[in-house]
Structure 1
């Protein structure tokens, strides 16, 4: 009889690893970020009541006691305050503060308290006095910096720092809108640039904990309530496509208008304070007819979707809000366009719903549905995060049918913006600063890698006056490690160029050539301080197999050589490790 097969042993549980600690850290971070967001939102409301005499975040009309002179003075004070803060910050650090996307792309998630102060304080100094900007950039920056500092304090590796920065940003957006899924997707689409199973637990738990914390501190009321008592019909699908296309054009126009007004203000008003004060005067004039241009516009979003702002008034307010937000950012007030894009989109949708019945053959449309389609579509165009906008609508309306139609508009707007313009507002500003960043993808891993580990001494060396036979013997045994040529005083002259040696060998007669005649004419400037990204770029633009590494203190002293195959192999290993980390694959 054949022996019975043994049952395989039951695998035991894995021991707790760093992933468990990362998830616990993300949960604590979500709670901290929720407290910070609640504090910032409350502070802005109190500050606006003190400076403007009313909370612009919660009103679309001016109260009876409001004074336009007070509004103008408040914005002028803001212009002076932001200017003073900017000068103080420039004395503190010469560089610009890193935001979460830039930090994840270029510095592996490393952020400093300067990055928090340099972004959060000027934004609060702008929006608290009525500038037409949003606070989302402030809360996401604060969440990201808290995450980075906490991770660095606990000694987390680079990959965990990037995840924590994404978790902090996700928690901030989730807390601000009480929308955890939208917050998670914001982190994946913008801050991390990719999704992986490994990052789901920390980012998801951070967003959920932030929302729960907001519920405990402020109640379960959302920034705006968007009930949609309507059903989506077949005719709404092509309508969503049209709204998405128009939203893309509007989003591109807004981003370009910010740049145009920025250049115009700089040309007309060289002084920074005067420049911001001029924009404040423009906002005061616009607020006489359209008070909703002041502040971020959260209250106006709800009124636009619910139909309180509709028809011609919606289109007029759309134009006013567009100019107000572009002028605020173009003049130097600090803030973001997250909430402004939502308001612009809702107003665009209401305007389209007002115009649609004037076109013969158009079926009846729902103004509220058009508003939420426009809200998500313009947000997808300007912010560059269509999934975030789709789920933000779903979580704020609770209407699944509407979310399907909204998805068509948001996807269309995102696609057309990418094809016609190629940037979101954040990446557009990066490009203007000379940074080739298209998202939070870690593009700096190679730049952070030294090359000291692949520097080797040359295989052979010869004197500068060595004859051709000596050079041939040296080159035949050196291979890709290279043959160094030294002058009579011991200084380094260069590396032998194998192509010249091969050409000389093909000549029928022997020429009176010495080693100094066979070195490379030029040599790239490579030192031990050169990083791997720079070295790989040099090898891509140069077909030589070996490059000399020189002493940075003395350009005649050879440190060693690096081979192209070693540089590319190291780069491939590092990028493969990065992909495995992003995918959550164990090393």
Structure 2
């Protein structure tokens, strides 16, 4: 036994190490490749001269080229819908629907094309899903040394770790946003993947911190009231951002407009906006740093705040693909820069500007992804400042709580709710929604034809020690249900005493639906029908036995950790 545990631990560590290295390398070249493509926009061609100003038309061209390439990717891979963090989260919480590798790779490629073409999208969401996709691919060749949910969490943790150079945040994100619980069995491999990803990023690529902020040793008392007051504003902006995204996605999903029309229309519109406001295009990391260093004036901050929400909603809703977290950080930073700028104009020290901007950045970002602790740790790891982290924590907790009450836990949770998947009800509920009645173990039952003698039916029921039986015709169609009390009262004809509309379950009903139907049932057994054909019968006890078995399986999964040695 000890040898098996030791062997399993070594295998888990090696697999997590491989995932960490591969995700870190992919994340680096994804971001650097997109930045390189974006830098090509700086070439001085296709310029438009208005008055004394010259505007480059390259953003329109690059967006159109990206639109063409995305259409080609859709056709070559046969992908009609991109997948992202919401799909990774769902894959973790149940066993039947995993991460689709082809769609995952296609989505990563589409995100790279979108970001490189200048679309207002983030890199973190695609990298998170790529980490889950890569873990899924490796798991197919690695046996069962690591549970599927933990292995996917390893890939996700590595993506966050390498994307922000924040390994602790990667570990917490995997537990907070994906697993939604603290997994003792998964902690070791998740930690290895996250730490190795950060180490790979720093060793191979000499990676810089994602955000640069000035050091601060200021008295927080002066800024504390403003951080509290600004939290509801951050929540309102975060909700506006998410509602805008969902509105554009609903328009696209309505089917009233062809995909090609939407994506080309978006390419031209967003590209045109980018001609005059290029700062709202692309990943936005450089612009966030400029905001944190207070290098933009108030009017421009307000313009890019509004424009960023608009172009991001259009890009993600109308055909381009990418993350929502990166743009959310941009929106939060721009909001903080604008609000702190107003305070500076009325007397607040300019040195507090970056603290307020970081706090609002964290608040909006955490509300969108539903991971407040992760965002606070990102701030702590990136700044190394207790002051920045403390203000971020205050802003994040207030904003996230308010956003949860008014909108929901996160943008991803709302995406899943749109599909009828409610993560707030727990893994047990999700497992039960995926089990069909036809998969359950049925109970024995008695069935008779309408011509059967009541006395014969009563005799058979007494021999089998049951109080209910079913009446079916020659084609096994359920005619009704009969109980022994009715037979005692009337022994002439069973057709006069059968219940012709008994409570019944369809074979396609889920276990959760079966439990809901059974909640109003009084009797011995419930008939199972396919259409109107009797397929079997099941008792309430059978249903609850299955529920208890699911609970035991999930509990054992946690207590045994990753003890399966394959």
TM, length-normalised to structure 1 = 0.83
Counterpart residue number, 1:572: 548
Q: 1:321 to 1:212 in 2, by over 3 A?
A: same
Q: 1:21 aligned to 2:11?
A: yes
SS of residue matched to 1:229: coil
Q: 1:263 to 1:496 in 2, by over 3 A?
A: closer
SS of residue matched to 1:483: strand
Q: 1:248 to 1:18 in 2, by over 3 A?
A: same
Q: 1:143 aligned to 2:131?
A: yes
Pairwise CA distance, 1:249? 0.5
Deviations 1:153-190 (A, max 9, x none): 22328x81011111101101110110111112221222
* Unaligned runs of at least 5 residues, structure 1: 1-10, 55-64
2 CA distance for matches of 1:75 and 1:68? 13
Counterpart residue number, 2:389: 403
Q: 1:339 aligned to 2:326?
A: yes
Counterpart residue number, 2:22: 32
SS of residue matched to 1:561: strand
Contact 2:234-2:363 at 8 Å conserved across structures: yes
Counterpart residue number, 1:115: 103
Greater displacement, 469-478 / 335-344: 469-478
1 CA distance for matches of 2:54 and 2:168? 39
181, 196, 199: which one aligns with 1:194: 181
Greater displacement, 108-117 / 164-173: 108-117
Pairwise CA distance, 1:20? 4.5
Deviations 1:494-553 (A, max 9, x none): 56444xx44675x6xx463326842552463544x7664454444346445423345x6x
Q: 1:228 aligned to 2:215?
A: yes
Pairwise CA distance, 1:421? 1.2
Q: 1:349 aligned to 2:336?
A: yes
2 CA distance for matches of 1:431 and 1:280? 29
Pairwise CA distance, 1:555? 5.8
Counterpart residue number, 1:386: 372
Greater displacement, 172-181 / 572-581: 572-581
Greater displacement, 195-204 / 108-117: 108-117
Counterpart residue number, 1:128: 116
Counterpart residue number, 2:50: none
Counterpart residue number, 1:211: 198
Q: 1:167 to 1:520 in 2, by over 3 A?
A: farther
Counterpart residue number, 1:512: 492
SS of residue matched to 2:527: strand
Pairwise CA distance, 1:401? 2.5
Contact 2:59-2:272 at 8 Å conserved across structures: no
Deviations 1:276-296 (A, max 9, x none): 233233333433443221101
SS of residue matched to 1:307: coil
Contact 2:487-2:497 at 8 Å conserved across structures: no
2 CA distance for matches of 1:434 and 1:452? 21
Counterpart residue number, 1:258: 245
2 CA distance for matches of 1:140 and 1:66? 39
2 CA distance for matches of 1:163 and 1:66? 53
Contact 2:528-2:536 at 8 Å conserved across structures: yes
Q: 1:365 to 1:302 in 2, by over 3 A?
A: closer
Pairwise CA distance, 1:85? 2.8
- Mapping for residues 102-501 of structure 1, pairs under 5 Å: 102-107=90-95, 110-156=98-144, 160-262=147-249, 270-357=257-344, 366-437=352-423, 441=427, 443-449=429-435, 452=439, 454-458=441-445, 460-476=446-462, 478=464, 482-487=468-473, 489=474, 491=476, 493=478, 496-498=481-483, 501=484
2 CA distance for matches of 1:480 and 1:416? 55
Q: 1:269 to 1:109 in 2, by over 3 A?
A: closer
Q: 1:582 to 1:415 in 2, by over 3 A?
A: farther
Deviations 1:401-457 (A, max 9, x none): 221221010011110011011242222333345544559957542345565562233
Contact 2:458-2:487 at 8 Å conserved across structures: no
Q: 1:521 aligned to 2:508?
A: no
Displacement over 6 Å in runs of 4+: 11-14, 264-269, 362-365
Pairwise CA distance, 1:273? 2.9
* RMSD, matched Cα: 3.5
Counterpart residue number, 1:41: 31
Contact 1:29-1:206 at 8 Å conserved across structures: yes
Deviations 1:134-165 (A, max 9, x none): 121221111101111211322328x8101111
* Unaligned runs of at least 5 residues, structure 2: 45-52
Pairwise CA distance, 1:205? 1.1
2 CA distance for matches of 1:388 and 1:442? 25
2 CA distance for matches of 1:109 and 1:263? 24
Counterpart residue number, 1:546: 525
Deviations 1:321-345 (A, max 9, x none): 2222122123221111111111111
Number of residue pairs aligned between Structure 1 and Structure 2: 552
Contact 2:123-2:283 at 8 Å conserved across structures: yes
Q: 1:493 to 1:71 in 2, by over 3 A?
A: closer
Q: 1:413 to 1:441 in 2, by over 3 A?
A: farther
